[in-house]
A and B are shown apart, each in its own frame.
Chain A
Amino acid sequence: ILNVEQSPQSLHVQEGDSTNFTCSFPSSNFYALHWYRWETAKSPEALFVMTLNGDEKKKGRISATLNTKEGYSYLYIKGSQPEDSATYLCAFGRTDKLIFGTGTRLQVFP
């Protein structure tokens, strides 16, 4: 059974704080690593898909790094805003499917 672990489970930060979360995945047979942002009452939306060891991707204040050899990815949010409040999901991409972690729920207080 392949496990994708995310930590922490939840996080409360003040507006303006920078934060980061971790996704751990199997380091063998790596294919792809996805990050999704899931707001309450909406559907998950893709942030990044990374396929190469050492990949770094950035979208505005959000960035992600990938280490396939040790099996982890970090998602960083710089200067968190209340609108960043959401659950952040990572998914390990195989050739047949995505295996999702349980997510990190972020709440940003004004």
Chain B
Amino acid sequence: EAQVTQNPRYLITVTGKKLTVTCSQNMNHEYMSWYRQDPGLGLRQIYYSMNVEVTDKGDVPEGYKVSRKEKRNFPLILESPSPNQTSLYFCASSFQRGNTEAFFGQGTRLTVV
């Protein structure tokens, strides 16, 4: 089954404790991206990757890192989480960048206390 798998689904952590949210897709998509969803705002792009070892900042990259060592995986790293990073996060992948449908992971609800 074609899918994007994100883990964990829910996470409560403390300020400053490094964490990683994993994302994996099995559709051989080149393009992957991370979004955050906050109340009253649309999905905002954090980082994206056009291929292995190619990553770039989205609209809200501060406080986040990503890596793309393999085509299927695109982890999101929060080196020192802060309460303003409490949000719902989605990973997405697509065959091409803007004109093919995006497939979304199940979402990760992160709370930083």
The answer on a CB contact under 8 Å between B41 and A98 is no
Kindly state the interface size class of chain B when it binds its partner: 20 to 34
Known: A43-B90, A102-B40, A102-B42. A97 touches B104 (CB 8 A): no
Q: Does B100 contact A (CB under 8 A)?
A: yes
Closest to A43 in B: B104
List residues of B whose CB falls within 8 A of some A CB: 4, 33, 35, 40-45, 48, 56, 58, 90, 97-107
List residues of A whose CB falls within 8 A of some B CB: 4, 31-32, 34, 36, 42-46, 49, 51, 89, 91, 93-103
The 28 sampled A-B contact pairs (Cβ below 8 Å) are: A4-B42, A32-B98, A34-B101, A34-B102, A42-B106, A43-B4, A43-B105, A44-B90, A44-B102, A44-B104, A46-B102, A49-B99, A49-B100, A49-B101, A51-B99, A89-B42, A89-B43, A91-B43, A95-B98, A96-B56, A97-B48, A97-B97, A98-B43, A98-B98, A98-B102, A101-B42, A102-B42, A103-B42
